[in-house]
A and B are shown apart, each in its own frame.
Chain A
Amino acid sequence: MSTQTEGDDERQKDSEENKRVKEIWEKIRSKLSDYISSDAFSRWFKNAELINADQQDGIVGVQSDMHQIWIETNYMEELRAAFAEGAGIHCSPRVVVKGEELELPGEEVKQAARKARPGGQVKVVTPDASAKDVAFERRLKRLGINPELDFESFVVGDNSQFAHAACSAVAHQDGRNFNPLFIHGGAGLGKTHLMSAVAQQLLTENPKAKVVFLTAEHFANEFIEAVRKGNLDAFRKAYRYADAMLIDDIQFLAGKERTQDEFFHTFNSLLNSQTQVILTCDCPAPEIQTLEPRLISRFESGLTVALQPPGFETRVAILRRKMEQWKVELDNNIVVHIANQIKSNVRRLEGALTRVASYSFLSLGNMSIEKVDELLGDLVRDENTNLITVEQIQKAVADYYGLNLSDMTSRRRPARIAFPRQIAMYLSRQITKLSLVDIGEVFGKRDHGTIIHACKKVKADMESNSEVRGSVEKLTASLERQI
């Protein structure tokens, strides 16, 4: 930011730009003094400066937060009019506190701001990633963000790589095209974790940012409350002036028409002002029941990323990370055993570890695999009851290909029936824990060789034929959601 390292030309340009901004500000000021009383003008705008001005954006710097609050509440209409009448700039001007500003949307605006204020008085807040101070943590908690859920504590695996990368891009404000960012995935896979991490990163980099972090349920409740009290205006304001809006569990809006309506407008105004919006949902947007189509299409207009259940390696990595965090030590085979038993969701995985760790801590006894099984008995049973049955697979495949359920077990072998049946066999082999013989039994008392053949064929077809691969993936995903 030092002007010394820049050439004379640069300095010249800077001072010209500086002069231009000053001239514009003079015009705006003279209009403004017509609109508001001289007392108010000298009180609030005397030492104000124009930090940036172009056709879309006007930023006024004032000397204290009280100036900012008072001007934002009382003089915005006048300020907007003065921008329009005095300088022909039609925008919603923003008021920032001098020396603390730079909650600006993009890099070029930042540069413009720097140019407008040569000498480098602009303070850019540099985050100290190592130490999260107590005040910051409290602020997070007040916003409803769990300070422990940050990027550092998120274990990235194949299942979450893309989602993690997208979130981290958004958090570092270089992903303006990822708006809105829509994260979906089943329970306990880290949607809220990622979103909290983004919120924290945004606040670390820019402590003045207005980050709204809430659940869709909270949004709906506030909306209902606002309707009841008749202060919808304040409600709208609170959300529409946010710098970033992060909403958890958006599927909650399903079936709430008026809330959806309000949300739609809030959502639009945020997108129009290029405010980052991040949403999480337990299923892909089009599958949210009774959600207005216009909302679905809005949700899909940005980037959609999915969180899958973690693979074995990731599960082990998560367990190891947690053990480090909680300062517990367990034998490697026990960790592997837990990771093998609990597959569907990270939250449950952590629960399992808590049990085992606290047992070993309290009893000081030696941990054995048998003991772990005993401790995790009900969790593992839960996992298994949630397992998909061959019947469910048969039904899903039959529905998908428009066949009768009886075709799955019948002896008929035209290709349009036989191939889906083979897919169902393949899926049964992949998803359930049944043996080849058992699977053959359920598919109309077929030989286990038939099942082996079906699996091989489908596998080969998936490699060579993208349509088959797509179908199988869709079916797998829809079955997994039934858990």
Chain B
Amino acid sequence: MKFRIAKEAFLDGLQQVQHVVSSRTTLPILSNVLIEAGDEGLRLTTTDLDVGVSGTAKAEVSKPGATTLPVKRLVNIIRELPSAEIEVSVDSKNVASIKSGPSFFKIIGLPSGEFPPLANFDDAKEYKIPQAVFRNGLKKTSYAISTDETRYVLNGIFTSFKEGKLTLVATDGRRLAMVDHELEFPSSHEVDFIVPTKAVHELQRLLNTEGEMMLKLSDNQVCFEIGASIIVSKLIEGNYPNYRQVIPGESKERLTLSREQLLETTRRVSLLSSEKSNSVKLTFGQNQVDVMANSPDIGEANETLEVKYEGKEFSIAFNPEFLMAPLKSLEEDEVHLDLIDEMSPGVLRTEDAFLYVLMPMRVTG
């Protein structure tokens, strides 16, 4: 195998796939990238057996072939090479020679035949989704994924194709984020499944704001085709709990707030929330909201937001990180905050089909 490639193109291609490598030392090939050189350039593939990513890079291939090389090491080498042009040749023993300007590297690879192939999606259900829709959906929900491994069904994004809608949900038991989007698909394709966190991260890296992607679903695996790139992932087994039970019904008070203002204010005030209580308190009065935080040993912060509000006076406390997370991921200028009382969950909504349920913190004293 032999090819010439521009440094930037090689680096870009490798960086797309380098995050999916296994930490399992028992299968050294999983820390390698599969490089296949053909007429159309290079195809680069990595997998940790749970998630696999594959992408392309343009190259001048003079001798087609395939090998696998340790990806972390390869990226480090390519990044440091002095010249913009790289020549790579691999011998039959999978030893790769990398030439660039005056420097020369030799690295030992493993045979491509040992590399586990990505799953096959021949008879899979297919869904065409605009990339921007999926990208936005993930952005608005992924921060709420639970990291508690004992509740593994929550370690991913619940993805549902039902009633002409694509619904994405993530929750960790303290908050829940949900996005709906209308989408056309045959009614025989109604289904729901859970995409694990790792695949979600890879998706977020690869998704663009334009174009479409193809989602393919087999029994226990899902495949995302984004341009020439592919992500294949196992699904989380199990049933996602019925998240609709979490969403409060009728709210008593509704406020409309400027998203950026609320975000900035919360960020500033939270500088003085104590590590222990880690909360900011929102106090609603006539046409204003006071955002407050204090830690007994350090001091306190207070900022007032002008809003339209004529409801009853009351206070509610939230974890500032949990309050800011959705605000950061949204793009709308205004958000609605629906509340019942100081002990019931607050609901953040936008005009779009976004919803975020957030449990209040106990206010002591």
- Is residue A73 within 8 Å, beta carbon to beta carbon, of the partner chain? yes
Instruction: Kindly identify which residue among B151, B154, B173, B341 contacts A74, using a CB–CB cutoff of 8 Å.
Output: B173
Residues of B with C-beta under 8 A to A26: none
Question: Whose C-beta in chain B lies nearest to the C-beta of A66?
Answer: B241
Question: Whose C-beta in chain A lies nearest to the C-beta of B239?
Answer: A65
Instruction: Kindly identify which residue among B147, B151, B220, B341 contacts A138, using a CB–CB cutoff of 8 Å.
Output: B220
Q: Is the CB of A37 within 8 A of B344?
A: yes
Assembled-state Cα–Cα distance A212/B171 (Å): 22
For the complex formed, measure the closest distance between the CB of A108 and the CB atoms of chain B, giving whole angstroms.
26
> Contact mask A38-71 → B, CB, 8 Å, 1/0?
0110010000000000000000000011110110
Q: Is the CB of B241 within 8 A of A69?
A: yes
- Is residue A165 within 8 Å, beta carbon to beta carbon, of the partner chain? no
Q: Is the CB of B340 within 8 A of A37?
A: yes
Question: Whose C-beta in chain B lies nearest to the C-beta of A36?
Answer: B343
Residues of A with C-beta under 8 A to B344: 37, 39-40
- Is residue A142 within 8 Å, beta carbon to beta carbon, of the partner chain? yes
Instruction: Kindly identify which residue among A37, A65, A139, A142 contacts B241, using a CB–CB cutoff of 8 Å.
Output: A65
Q: Is the CB of A37 within 8 A of B343?
A: yes
For the complex formed, measure the closest distance between the CB of B84 and the CB atoms of chain A, giving whole angstroms.
37
Q: Is the CB of B148 within 8 A of A238?
A: yes
Question: Whose C-beta in chain A lies nearest to the C-beta of B23?
Answer: A221
Instruction: Kindly identify which residue among B173, B220, B340, B341 contacts A69, using a CB–CB cutoff of 8 Å.
Output: B173
Q: Which of A1-60 contact B (CB under 8 A)?
A: 36-37, 39-40, 43
Q: Is the CB of A70 within 8 A of B242?
A: no
Residues of B with C-beta under 8 A to A129: none
- Is residue B104 within 8 Å, beta carbon to beta carbon, of the partner chain? no
Q: Is the CB of B245 within 8 A of A67?
A: yes
Q: Is the CB of B248 within 8 A of A39?
A: yes
Residues of B with C-beta under 8 A to A237: 148
Q: Is the CB of A238 within 8 A of B149?
A: yes
Q: Is the CB of A142 within 8 A of B152?
A: yes
Given contacts A36-B343, A74-B173, A139-B237, contact A66 B152 (CB under 8 A): no
Question: Whose C-beta in chain B lies nearest to the C-beta of A74?
Answer: B359
Q: Is the CB of B241 within 8 A of A64?
A: yes
Measured as residues with beta carbon below 8 angstroms from the partner, the interface class of chain A is: 20 to 34
Q: Is the CB of B243 within 8 A of A66?
A: yes
> Contact mask B230-254 → A, CB, 8 Å, 1/0?
0000100111011101101000000
Q: Which residues of A are interface residues toward B (Cβ below 8 A)?
A: 36-37, 39-40, 43, 64-67, 69-70, 72-74, 77, 135, 138-139, 142, 210, 212, 234, 237-238, 241-242
> Contact mask B312-347 → A, CB, 8 Å, 1/0?
000000000000000000000000000011111100
For the complex formed, measure the closest distance between the CB of B175 and the CB atoms of chain A, giving whole angstroms.
10
Residues of B with C-beta under 8 A to A135: 237
Residues of B with C-beta under 8 A to A39: 248, 340-341, 344
Q: Is the CB of B173 within 8 A of A73?
A: yes
Q: Is the CB of B341 within 8 A of A73?
A: no
Given contacts A66-B241, A241-B150, 9 further A-B contacts (CB under 8 A): A40-B344, A43-B248, A69-B171, A69-B173, A77-B362, A138-B237, A142-B152, A212-B150, A242-B150
Q: Which of B150-187 contact A (CB under 8 A)?
A: 150-152, 154, 171-174
For the complex formed, measure the closest distance between the CB of A269 and the CB atoms of chain B, giving whole angstroms.
15
**Can you identify 16 A-B contacts, CB atoms within 8 angstroms?**
A37-B341, A39-B248, A40-B343, A64-B245, A66-B243, A69-B171, A72-B173, A74-B173, A138-B237, A139-B238, A142-B237, A210-B150, A212-B150, A234-B148, A238-B149, A241-B150
Given contacts A135-B237, A138-B220, A234-B147, contact A66 B154 (CB under 8 A): no
For the complex formed, measure the closest distance between the CB of B97 and the CB atoms of chain A, giving whole angstroms.
32
For the complex formed, measure the closest distance between the CB of A145 and the CB atoms of chain B, giving whole angstroms.
14
Residues of B with C-beta under 8 A to A36: 343
Assembled-state Cα–Cα distance A70/B146 (Å): 12
Residues of A with C-beta under 8 A to B241: 64-66, 69
For the complex formed, measure the closest distance between the CB of A75 and the CB atoms of chain B, giving whole angstroms.
9
Residues of A with C-beta under 8 A to B341: 37, 39
Residues of A with C-beta under 8 A to B343: 36-37, 40
Q: Is the CB of B245 within 8 A of A43?
A: yes
Assembled-state Cα–Cα distance A142/B238 (Å): 12
Residue among B147, B152, B237 facing the most chain A CB atoms (10 A cut-off): B237
Residues of A with C-beta under 8 A to B237: 135, 138-139, 142
Q: Is the CB of A238 within 8 A of B242?
A: no
Q: Is the CB of A64 within 8 A of B242?
A: yes
Assembled-state Cα–Cα distance A238/B173 (Å): 14
Residues of A with C-beta under 8 A to B154: 69
For the complex formed, measure the closest distance between the CB of A220 and the CB atoms of chain B, giving whole angstroms.
14
> Contact mask B273-293 → A, CB, 8 Å, 1/0?
000000000000000000000
Residues of A with C-beta under 8 A to B245: 43, 64, 66-67, 70
Q: Is the CB of A238 within 8 A of B150?
A: yes
Assembled-state Cα–Cα distance A77/B362 (Å): 11
For the complex formed, measure the closest distance between the CB of B277 and the CB atoms of chain A, giving whole angstroms.
13
Assembled-state Cα–Cα distance A69/B148 (Å): 11
> Contact mask B206-243 → A, CB, 8 Å, 1/0?
00000000000000100000000000001001110111
Question: Whose C-beta in chain B lies nearest to the C-beta of A78?
Answer: B362
Assembled-state Cα–Cα distance A67/B242 (Å): 9
Residues of B with C-beta under 8 A to A138: 220, 234, 237
Residues of B with C-beta under 8 A to A242: 150
Question: Whose C-beta in chain B lies nearest to the C-beta of A218?
Answer: B23
For the complex formed, measure the closest distance between the CB of A95 and the CB atoms of chain B, giving whole angstroms.
12
Residues of A with C-beta under 8 A to B242: 64-66
Assembled-state Cα–Cα distance A40/B342 (Å): 11
Residues of B with C-beta under 8 A to A69: 151, 154, 171, 173, 241
Q: Is the CB of A66 within 8 A of B246?
A: yes
For the complex formed, measure the closest distance between the CB of A203 and the CB atoms of chain B, giving whole angstroms.
13
For the complex formed, measure the closest distance between the CB of B346 and the CB atoms of chain A, giving whole angstroms.
12
Residues of B with C-beta under 8 A to A64: 241-242, 245
Residues of A with C-beta under 8 A to B359: 73-74
Assembled-state Cα–Cα distance A216/B2 (Å): 44
Assembled-state Cα–Cα distance A242/B245 (Å): 26
Assembled-state Cα–Cα distance A242/B148 (Å): 12
For the complex formed, measure the closest distance between the CB of B239 and the CB atoms of chain A, giving whole angstroms.
8
Q: Is the CB of A73 within 8 A of B174?
A: yes
Assembled-state Cα–Cα distance A73/B319 (Å): 14
Question: Whose C-beta in chain A lies nearest to the C-beta of B243?
Answer: A66
Assembled-state Cα–Cα distance A242/B237 (Å): 20
Residues of A with C-beta under 8 A to B362: 77
Assembled-state Cα–Cα distance A237/B151 (Å): 12
For the complex formed, measure the closest distance between the CB of A393 and the CB atoms of chain B, giving whole angstroms.
36
Question: Whose C-beta in chain A lies nearest to the C-beta of B362?
Answer: A77
